[in-house]
Amino acid sequence: MKKVIRLVLLIIAALLILCFLALLIVPRFVDVQRYKPAIEEKVSEATGRPFTLGGDLRLSLFPWAGLAFSDLRLGAPRGFKEKDFIAVESFEFQVKLLPLLFKDIEVKRFVLIGPRIVLEKSKDGRANWEGLGKVKTGAPAKQEGKEKVPGDKGKGGLPIESLVVGTCTIEDGSLLWIDHARGQRRELKDLNLRLDEISLEKPIRLSLSAFVEGKPFSLEGKLGPIGKKPGEGSLALDFSASVFETMDLKVEGQVTDASTRPSYDLNFRIEPFSPRKLATAFDKPLPLTPADPDVLKRFALKVTVQGSAQALALKEGALELDDSKLTISANLKEFSKPNLTFDLKLDHIDLDRYLPASQDKSGESKAAAQHVEKTDYTPLRTLVVDGRVHIDKVKVKNARIQDLDLKIRGRGGVMNVDPLSVRLYDGNMTSKGTLDVRRNTPASNFTLQINGVEARPLLKDVMDKDFLEGTMRAQIALAMTGDSAEKVKSTLNGKGEFRFNDGAIVGIDLAGMVRNIRSAFGMEEKGRERPRTDFAELHAPFTINNGVFNTLNSTLLNPFLRVSAKGKADLVDETLDFRVEPNFVASIKGQGDTTDRSGIAVPVLVTGTFSSPQFRPDLESIIKKSLQGEVPDASGLKEVEEKAKRIIKGLPFGK
């Protein structure tokens, strides 16, 4: 029995020796170069593209099983300017053979030098990466065996016990993107990647550097440990990136169960940088040209991102833009809708600094309106949103607003804003509204209430006009359809009223009409204080019907006169048709005045357009009345008209 065992052991030892000798001798005496044409033919057949190995092909088996080659080229399809889709200067791979028998992988070298990938699109939209490999016709082969049950993880893990890699590098790589249809050419060059300390039990260190369009990019960090069951358990991440020596980004956290039920908890941090410098580094202009050249010089962000395949949450978000600070929290789920909740809080911002400088495009407005593309509201019809925005201080169109608070809720294509509230100019404004996009043409409505707002500073800031003083109150309700200015104006309907108390109309002395027509328009006030008409109350009720503004009984109450106005303004045609008529009080006895007042009450007709309003005294009315004092000649009336035009420059539409 012992002899038999001894004989078997001798045979096994001899076989092992023969195998080792074969591993050593075969690569030395077998010319693998003779197989290059066959290899090239098989690869070309499999990919459907030309394939060549220009350099030597080297094979080793013991003690390190290895493969090395140089000058590999996989061609692009016909019709593309770049002949090679993939090119590699050289490749070398060595793995220790004996440990493979015990499920241990020990890699000595993995070195890829000079890989080059070209992604090219032709003018007709074809891409050189399409159709890689032959398309097989016929029904797919039926797979035998047990069908995988959803949720069945199987045994999981890797069929190995350990992994150790020595040198793992990619050197001097490049990626070229060419789009002939758009005239774009982008290139990533000098790509170098190095992985150190590769194993299953330790974190893997990564170092990457490259030049994008001649600008440096780098990434440093570590990943892992991976563990014997990759994709299960927790995988730690810690990376830092530098973009064009302008922006620094750091990401740290962990990914859990990546292959089964992936979830992540990551901290992102972008150190302060200048978006202007980054845009310059990309050789790209800013999307908009802000009015203030000193903005967009500082941006920073830090946020915690938690999520899974079903949900995403942003927590403890803090964004800094120049001198403004925004806190962010948001939750996103049901990605197909999506379902979004958010809460944004901003300390202050001057939006006028970021908006483009105003330009006169009136001549282009109508032509541009005719070429507006139809808006697709489908995403809004599925969106579910519930959010809040609060801004302590904001400046927009030169209006200064405090404590802006907005709540928005939407579902099924109906968006509700309730409320929108602000404090401004010693008063407050509240509004609520609805946008309905369930049909192709959106419909909207809103209500607005204003209380205690000082009109003069508001109008001076927003419109650069100084024509009205007083404490303003207003109630407005409007409804409209459409998504273009012309459509909205033609479908605008609603009603409301403005009421100003204890104020004045600046630039015109209506009470001076008591004396004569000239003084009514301030013609005899040269060198004196700017004329004004004080009032106890100015009340302007109105209705809007299909874009036509109507007022039948707007009134101004003054100790010396009562002024009424009626007429209409067509918002579509931008035309005016108003009559303003003063009625004077004979005296104000009981208020410290015993003097009789008398003079010419001059009705004024307002016609023309918004851009060129016409103002003239109602001569027919003047003639019919019993006049006292001076009746001006034709030249005097012309002077009155010109003066009225200059006065009206102070009104909102007086341009």
Number of other CB atoms surrounding residue 198 within 10 Å: 20
pLDDT value at residue 160? 63
**If pLDDT is split at 50, 70 and 90, which confidence band does 358 have?**
low
Question: Is the pLDDT reported for residue 601 higher than 90?
Answer: no
Dist CA 236 CA 265 (whole Å): 10
> Cis ω on the peptide bond leading into residue 338 (within 30° of 0)?
yes
Give Dmax (Cα) for the chain.
150
- Cα-only R_g, the chain: 40
**If pLDDT is split at 50, 70 and 90, which confidence band does 313 have?**
very high
CA angle 347, 352, 357 (to 5 degrees): 155
Dist CA 23 CA 59 (whole Å): 11
Over the chain, what is the mean pLDDT? 80
pLDDT value at residue 53? 86
- pLDDT tens-digit series, residues 465-507: 888 899 999 999 999 999 888 899 999 999 999 999 999 888 7
pLDDT value at residue 475? 96
Range with the poorest average pLDDT among 170-174, 543-547, 578-582: 578-582
Question: Is the pLDDT reported for residue 330 higher than 90?
Answer: yes
Q: Which residues neighbour 502 within 8 Å (Cβ) at sequence distance 6 or greater?
A: 470, 471, 536
Pull the structure tokens for residue 590: 């009981």
Number of other CB atoms surrounding residue 519 within 10 Å: 19
- pLDDT tens-digit series, residues 521-558: 444 444 456 677 888 999 999 999 999 999 988 998 88
Question: Is the pLDDT reported for residue 351 higher than 90?
Answer: yes
- How much is the pTM? 0.75
Cβ atoms of residues 319 and 298 within 8 Å: no
Give the pLDDT mean for 186-194.
Answer: 92
**If pLDDT is split at 50, 70 and 90, which confidence band does 30 have?**
low
How many Å from the N-terminal Cα to the C-terminal Cα in the chain? 119
pLDDT value at residue 641? 53
**If pLDDT is split at 50, 70 and 90, which confidence band does 101 have?**
low
Residue 600 CA from chain centroid, whole number: 60
Pull the structure tokens for residue 412: 């099924």
Give the pLDDT mean for 18-35.
Answer: 56
- E strands of 213-338, at which residues? 215-223, 234-243, 247-256, 263-273, 299-308, 311-321, 324-333
What SS3 state is found at 54? coil
Cβ atoms of residues 79 and 137 within 8 Å: no
Domain boundaries, the chain: 19-127+159-222, 229-357, 427-648
**If pLDDT is split at 50, 70 and 90, which confidence band does 296 have?**
very high
Cβ atoms of residues 383 and 338 within 8 Å: yes
- pLDDT tens-digit series, residues 202-229: 888 999 999 988 889 999 999 888 887 7
Question: Is the pLDDT reported for residue 161 higher than 60?
Answer: yes
- E strands of 114-183, at which residues? 116-121, 162-179
Dist CA 64 CA 60 (whole Å): 7
